[in-house]
Amino acid sequence: MQKAISRDGTVIAYDRTGEGPALVLVGGAYQVREDPRWATLAGLLGDRFTVVTYDRRGRGDSGDTSPYAVEREIEDLAAVIAELDGPVRVMGMSSGAVLALEAAAHGVPMKELALYEPPFVIDDSRPPVPVDYVDQLDAAIAEGRRDDAVTLMLTTAVGVPAEFVGQMRASGIWSHFAALAHTLPYDARVMGDTMSGRPLPADRWAAVRIPVLAIGGGASDPWLQSGARALAALLPAGSHRTLDGQTHDVDPSALAPALAQFYAPTGPTA
């Protein structure tokens, strides 16, 4: 484990594996740097890249200085990137994709950016999140109702049927979810109003002029596929790719070749 110090003094824990140009992975909800999928993905890409995984604020071995703001998470990613030899590639997963996109819009230096299924709700293909979603999460965490916060996120933001949530509560993964429940309001704030059922704002990320690849899973829900396509269409250097047969829980062995092709390093400092 290595440490970067964010602008507000928060310690951000990160790991490196592999050799080559740096590639930073930004996790979505519930992901930590030791996520088995990250480890597998890093192993598949480690012969071409130095793959960096980090614990986002409030997770794993990273600190959690209050008060929270999305700007602090942008500064966290900037602090990790500052520890690396550039230029740096970045890949974001789900809500982590939106965080990485916001960081690029705020001028955090990166050469290329790949985004897997940013969970935008841009039409009426599914219900939008309630306008008081963040307030509901905040209240659940403040009152110590961590299980309720997880249930709310899964049913309202992800769209998991209630009966499936009951099955998940009886499984071993639930304790991991509950342990990170306090970070769910962070992800909700990162998403902002992009799950409202309205089209993405045309100029929100106009400053992002680096190449951006928005990736969707061919077997994912239509609303996830629509969000990725819409984002690619409005970015100045955006492109879109579909991974056949993949869902939001993407197989690293399917994702790794797509990333390697997109980044296509030409030398040790390319």
pLDDT by residue for the chain (270 residues), tens digit each? 999 999 999 999 999 999 999 999 999 999 999 999 999 999 999 999 999 999 999 999 999 999 999 999 999 999 999 999 989 999 999 999 999 999 999 999 999 999 999 999 999 999 999 999 999 999 999 999 999 999 999 999 998 888 889 888 888 889 999 999 999 999 999 999 999 999 999 889 999 999 999 999 999 999 999 999 999 999 999 999 999 999 999 999 999 999 999 998 554 444
**Token pair 């003094």 in the structure block, residue:** 9
The pTM score is: 0.95
Rounded to the nearest 10 degrees, the angle between the axes of helix 70-82 and helix 184-191 is 90
CB distance 37 to 251 below 8 Å: no
